C-alpha cells in the first residue's frame, strides 16, 4: 500500500491519534542470553572471563587498560592546588597599568586625563578593569589625572610636575 499524496490527506485523519515516530528511528531492545540462535546467547556478548565478563564491572572514564593514563603522563603544572606551589590567586592584581611615560608622550600640558581620554589615546582599553598609574618613566607636564589607583611614586611624580591626582571609585 502506498502512502497517500499530500492533496489526498483528509484533515480529519491528522491529529494526536495518528502520530508515530519516523521510520527507522525506533528499534527493539537487544535481548541477550536467549539462546545460541539469537546471536547473543551463552556469554551474552561479554566474551570469556576477565573483569568485563563479571557482574558489577565498570571501567572509569580515561581508563586505558592498566597503561599509565594520559592525565597521569602529562607534566604537572605549578598552581594553587599543590602544597609546594605558590598561591597565585590571593596576590593576582586585577588592574591594567598605565605608565607615566605613556602620559608624557600622549597628552599635552594642562590636559585632563580621564578614562575616556585614555581609551581614545589607546591606553587602558580593557573594559571593566581598573586603571592604575605606575611610575615608569618621567613626567614634566602638569596634568589632572583621574584613575582608579596610583602607585606612591607615580602620585609624587605627577604632583611634583604641578599636576593633580584624583582617585575614582
Contacts of 78 (CB under 8 A, 6+ apart): 84, 85, 86
Domain ranges of the chain: 93-167
d(CA 34, CA 38): 6
| Contact in structure between 54 and 60 (CB atoms under 8 Å) | no
User: What's this model's pTM, rounded to 2 decimal places?
Assistant: 0.48
Asked if the model's pLDDT at residue 118 lies above 80, the reply is: yes
- Collapsing DSSP states into helix, strand and coil, what is residue 119? helix
CATH code of 93-167, in short, is 3.100.10.10
d(CA 4, CA 24): 20
Lowest mean pLDDT segment, chosen from 34-38, 89-93, 124-128, 164-168: 89-93
Average pLDDT over residues 4-19: 76
The reported pLDDT for the residue numbered 81 is 60
The pLDDT tens digits for 51-60 are: 889 998 888 8
| Contact in structure between 147 and 107 (CB atoms under 8 Å) | no
The pLDDT tens digits for 65-116 are: 889 998 888 766 665 566 555 545 555 668 899 999 999 999 999 899 999 9
d(CA 122, CA 130): 15
Amino acid at each position: 500500500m502506498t502512502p497517500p499524496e499530500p492533496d489526498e490527506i483528509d484533515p480529519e485523519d491528522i491529529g494526536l491519534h495518528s502520530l508515530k515516530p519516523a521510520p527507522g528511528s525506533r528499534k527493539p531492545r537487544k535481548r541477550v542470553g536467549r539462546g545460541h540462535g539469537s546471536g547473543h546467547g551463552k556469554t551474552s556478548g561479554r566474551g570469556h572471563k576477565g573483569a568485563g565478563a563479571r557482574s558489577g564491572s565498570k571501567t572509569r572514564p580515561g581508563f586505558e587498560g592498566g597503561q599509565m593514563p594520559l592525565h597521569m603522563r602529562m607534566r604537572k603544572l605549578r598552581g594553587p592546588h599543590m602544597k609546594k606551589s605558590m598561591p597565585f590567586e590571593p596576590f593576582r592584581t586585577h588592574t591594567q597599568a598605565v605608565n607615566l611615560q605613556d602620559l608624557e608622550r600622549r597628552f599635552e600640558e594642562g590636559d585632563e586625563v580621564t578614562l575616556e581620554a585614555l581609551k581614545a589615546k589607546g591606553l587602558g582599553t580593557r573594559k571593566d578593569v581598573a586603571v592604575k598609574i605606575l611610575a615608569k618613566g618621567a613626567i614634566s607636564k602638569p596634568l589632572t589625572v583621574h584613575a582608579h589607583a596610583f602607585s606612591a611614586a607615580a602620585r609624587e611624580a605627577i604632583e611634583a610636575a604641578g599636576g593633580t591626582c584624583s582617585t575614582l571609585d
